[in-house]
Amino acid sequence: MPPKKLSGIKCLLISICFIGLTTGCQTNKTATSQPFSIIYGFKEGDNKSIYLSDEQGKRRIKVIDVPNNAGGYPAVSPTGKQIAFYGKYDKRKTWSIHIADIDGTNMRRLTNLKNVWDYGPAFSPDGRTIVFGREYRNKNGDIQEEIWQMNADGTGQRQIKGLEGGAPEFMSDGRLLFHTNGRFSKTVATQISIANIDGSNVIQLTNDDTNNFNPKISPDGTQIAYLSNKDGNQEVYVMNVDGSNQTRLTRNRIRDGDPAWSPDGSKVFFTSQNVFGIYDIYKVNKDGSSTERVLINASQTATIYHIDKNYLGRLENARQQ
């Protein structure tokens, strides 16, 4: 007996239901494949910790406590298995770079030179190298800014000669994005620049008499988010990777900081101090529209592009126990 033919309306209804089910499955798969978008520092009382969060600030999970409850500025490795951050020692006179598994285990101190301030670690695209800023007072009492690199296990520490500045970050082609020396100077303005990893071929992107610093490259490598006080207050800006089209994103009466891109490049996260003197994390569309608070009592934001699922599972299991 041949099967009954379905009417056109029934076929249409079945097709819509099927598409809806498959689309829902695909959307859910995408949403759960990357549950966290940012990593940040969180302070509760005297305790300072590093947390993961989704873009909305609704799902959060603690990774690790920083040494002596002081430090932070975390970064996630390209493999999603490790984080790098800094901690403070010697009554906060010494800052050191650390590395740990993203489940909070195997924390190791990588730098330990006394009376210098190592901060802002960033992984190379292959995860084998970490660059970081180093600050200290020279013989004249002035703060000196240097850029250093080392292997991800802490070996091979070496200064990148010829580059004076801070907040280094790798670009996808292996070059460094950074700000030049002068952030603590009353006579020299800090500018955003790009250079080869050996310190050669420096290209200056900003050129004015105000401080431009803490640059972050967009996921597609076409834009840079950074901080500037060119309009009288420290605000978040974006520009093209060649330095053109410099655009102000935030308009606050207090200082903003810590820019970081959303993984899809459509938004920029940043921190801003509230009326109680506490920092909160916000996000804004890269055209400057729709500013929204994401997390309270949080700062030092960095982007997450990938997290190893096995390590993440161990972290979630450990926090549930």
Predicted local distance difference test score (pLDDT) of residue 3: 43
| CA dihedral over 201, 202, 204, 209, signed as positive or negative | negative
Return the bridge partners of 72, or none.
Answer: 86
- State both tokens at 143: 């703060």
Find all residues with CB under 8 Å of 8, minimum gap 6, and list them: none
Sheet order of strands, 256-261 included: 256-261, 267-273, 279-285, 292-295
The domain 37-42+49-320 belongs to what CATH superfamily? TolB, C-terminal domain (2.120.10.30)
Contact 64, 315 (CB under 8 A): no
Mean pLDDT per 10-residue run, the chain (321 residues)?
Answer: 43 38 36 75 89 95 94 95 97 96 96 97 97 93 93 98 93 96 77 96 94 96 96 94 96 90 97 83 96 94 94 89 61
- State both tokens at 285: 């569309």
Predicted local distance difference test score (pLDDT) of residue 32: 39
> Is 121 exposed, middle or buried, given 0-12, 13-18 or 19+ CB atoms closer than 10 A?
buried
Model confidence, pTM: 0.87
Other residues' Cβ atoms within 10 Å of the Cβ of residue 72: 23
| CA dihedral over 289, 294, 300, 304, signed as positive or negative | negative
Contact 123, 84 (CB under 8 A): yes
For 132-148, the DSSP string reads EEEEEE-TTSPEEEEEE
- State both tokens at 90: 């010697």
Give, in order, the Cα–Cα distances in Å from 287 to each of 41, 237, 246, 266, 293.
Answer: 26, 10, 11, 9, 17
Question: What stretch of H or E contains 313?
Answer: helix 309-320
